[in-house]
Amino acid sequence: MQATQAALRLPRAVVPGCTRGPAWLSSSRSVVRRGRAALATTAEAVAAEPQPPKQQKQQQKKQQQQPRGQGKKGEAKVITPMSEDFSRWYLDVVRECQLADYGPVRGTMVIRPYGYALWEGVQSHLDKAFKETGHQNAYFPQLIPLSFLQKEADHVEGFAPELALVTQGGGKELEEPLVVRPTSETIVNHMFAQWVQSYRDLPLLINQWANVHRWEMRTRPFVRTLEFLWQEGHTAHATAEEAEEETIRMLKVYEDFAYNVAAMPVVSGRKSRIESFAGANCTYTIEAMMGDKRALQAGTSHNLGDNFAKAFNTRYLDEGGQLQYVHQSSWGVSTRMVGGIIMTHGDDAGLRLPPRLAPIQVVIVPIVKKDADSEAVMAAVKGLEAALKAAGVRVKLDASTDRTPGWKFNQYEMKGVPVRVEVGPRDVEQGTCVVARRDVAGKEGKQFGVPLEAEPFVGHVSALLDDIQAVLLRQAREFRDANIVDVCSYDELKEAVAAGKWARGPWAGSDEQEKQVKEDTSATLRCFPFDQPQHSGTCFMSGQPAAEVAIFARSY
């Protein structure tokens, strides 16, 4: 038995195909080992005492007789507290909640079902919003001739260091290397140039759901991976004004999603020139504050002007019969959003998911101590499950018998399920159940005596889900506002950043001064927020007149 256990715990093969220091892999190896050890513990428990089914059942019963709400004795905490090490907490949550795992190639990740279900939630909300604003989905080839990228000078300069290249196909060397798309502006324009003939073909409003690759140095699951999933919108318009309107419209779609679905109180604004997309005239962004106060760029919308149109000759005949270049936008949100949700709402116990995105909104846990009680309790929980399903609530009834209720409570708490319903025999006798909310710990978060009748029960749970959604947003907003510091001098900025906060102050500095801030403090200019507070009108760096405040912060 020991030999076979050892076989199961063989260290993960370190696969070549990495050219640089495997930052993520090496930092994660210990974590992986830890994860494997935990897994092995479970496996050993199973393996140690092979039991016939009867004995197993008895042992399960014993476990179920433990006090409600308590896990197995001696169960080790598997998640590092946030306060101790935020980065470690994040990796622990990603692993223990089975959101993602490491792929064999450095910097790649496998998105596991629970993590993918979160992404499906993001997709379904955004896809609906894109269609409501007149966009259609399409799909462009992933492999792009290298020469395409070279047509737009800024674009190739920005992306060249991060490209993956296909140089062999079907057993032969290719004449020209093909780029594995890092983004699709070039190939989209190659096609738009063929599709757009007259002003009648405009606006052209396209979106694509796809995978993209960027050969990143430092990676982290969801936040920055060699391959990620995203949507990329690409539009063409007759005028510069319409392109700008569209660019802002789609940023507002992202902002609305962030606030009202993901409960992320993002700050919307304009990027500085040096932080803008390679090839854009202007980039707009939604910036989110994570639990460690670092900024996360959670979505961007670019006004591309006619830069790509000129590079690819994307022109239309206007109503006067004159050839004109189109004006364009592009905009994207990626699986990084999942990382943002984790790091905005999580706590020491694990995930806290906003109800509108939670793959499981409500978990129902029956608590049966004696076989005699089983029938009545199971009838009750099945009734509750059916009532919630009928009301469109994403509900999971966990009636498995191989885990104690306490283990289940811990598990679903860690997985961030917003609402838990507990039903025991005494509850059934009284015609009630217990409803616990994830966002309030312990007894304070429990409501006793909630009726088992479908209508009041569903009403109670629905209202609770709405309240949790609102509370998560409010808490995140309060946290954000408490950690933005208005600064009047460079020293104040340094102090704020050193304290881990966001620094906001009037800015009219040069590109060089912006780079200086980064060099000195590792904070970058996150955006010029649309929502401008009152300010002195004098740049805290250059002393020049400043029309706007900018926000500086350390970021992911």
The span from the CA of 289 to the CA of 20, in Å, is 30
Q: Do 346 and 230 form a contact (C-beta atoms < 8 A)?
A: no
Give CA–CA dist 336/339, Å, rounded: 5
Which residue's CB is nearer to a copy of itself, number 71 or number 459?
71
Structure tokens at 175: 């004449």
Q: How far is the CB of 95 from a copy of itself (least distance, A)?
A: 11
> Cβ(376)–Cβ(428) under 8 Å?
yes
Least CB distance from residue 235 to a copy of itself, whole Å?
13
CB of 279 vs a copy of itself, minimal distance in Å: 18
State the Cα–Cα distance between residues 451 and 448, nearest whole angstrom.
9
Omega before 451 within 30 of 0, i.e. cis:
no
Q: How far is the CB of 15 from a copy of itself (least distance, A)?
A: 5
First to last CA, the chain: 45
Q: Smaller CB distance to a copy of itself: residue 134 or 500?
A: 134
From the CB of 104, what's the least distance to a copy of itself, in Å? 6
Q: How far apart are CA 481 and CA 45, in angstroms?
A: 47
User: What SS3 class is residue 239?
Assistant: coil
Closest CB 86 distance from a copy of itself, rounded Å: 26
Burial 43-65 (b: 16+ CB within 10 A, else e): eeeeeeeeeeeeeeeeeeeebbe
How many other CB atoms are found less than 10 A from the CB of residue 41? 12
Instruction: Pick between residue 20 and residue 370 the one whose CB is nearest to a copy of itself.
Output: 20
The residue (of 24 and 457) whose beta carbon lies closer to a copy of itself is 24
Contacts of residue 45, Cβ cutoff 8 Å, sequence gap at least 6: none
Task: Tell me the closest approach of the beta carbon of residue 197 to a copy of itself, in angstroms.
Answer: 4
Angle at Cα 453 formed by Cα 449 and Cα 456, nearest 5°?
75
Choice between 174 and 391, CB closer to a copy of itself: 174
Min CB(314)–a copy of itself separation in Å: 11
Q: Among residues 111 and 364, whose Cβ is nearest to a copy of itself?
A: 111
Closer residue to a copy of itself in complex, CB, 163/417: 163
Pick 138 or 379: Cβ nearer a copy of itself: 138
- Residue 331 per-residue DSSP state: E
Residue 313, by phi and psi: left (phi above 0), alpha (psi -120 to 50) or beta?
A: left
